[in-house]
Amino acid sequence: MKRAHRVGELLAGTLGLMITVGVSFLIAVVLILLLSDQRLTTIYYFFVGPFTNRYYFGNMINMAIPLVFTGLGIAVAFKSSVFNLGGEGQVYSGALVATVILLALPQSGAWLGGPSALVAALAAGGILAGLSGFFKMKWGTDELISSFLISSAVIFIVNYFITGPLDDPDSSMLATRAIADQYHFLGIYPPSKLNISVVLALLAGVLVFFLMYYTHWGYEMRMCGLNREFSRYGGINTAAYVALPMIISGALHGLAGGIAIMGTYHMAVKEFSYGMGWNGIAVALIAKNNPLGVLPAAVFFAYLDAGARAAMLHSDVTFEIAAVVQSVIFYLITAQAVYGFLRRRKGLRP
Cα–Cα distance between 151 and 176 in angstroms, integer? Answer: 21
Sign of CA dihedral 314, 315, 316, 319: negative
Parent domain of 242: 2-348
159: exposed, middle or buried (C-beta count within 10 Å: 0-12, 13-18, 19+)? middle
Number of folded domains in the chain? Answer: 1
- Phi then psi for residue 187, to 5 deg, are -70, 140
Beta pairing partners, 175 = 269
What is the pLDDT, as a whole number, of residue 349? 44
Per-position pLDDT tens, the chain of length 350: 555 555 555 565 677 778 877 887 888 888 888 888 888 998 999 999 999 999 999 999 999 999 999 999 999 999 998 999 999 999 999 999 999 999 998 777 667 888 999 999 999 999 999 999 999 988 989 999 999 999 999 999 999 999 999 999 988 889 999 999 999 999 999 999 999 999 999 999 999 999 999 999 999 999 998 888 888 888 888 888 889 999 999 999 999 999 999 999 999 999 999 889 989 998 998 888 999 999 999 999 899 889 888 988 888 888 777 777 777 777 777 777 666 655 655 554 44
User: Where does residue 84 fall: left (phi above 0), alpha (psi -120 to 50 degrees), or beta otherwise?
Assistant: beta
Contacts of 262 (CB under 8 A, 6+ apart): 98, 102, 114, 117, 118, 179, 183, 184, 185, 197
CATH number for the domain that contains residue 104: 1.10.3470
Radius of gyration for the chain, computed over Cα atoms and rounded to the nearest angstrom: 21
pLDDT given at position 271: 92
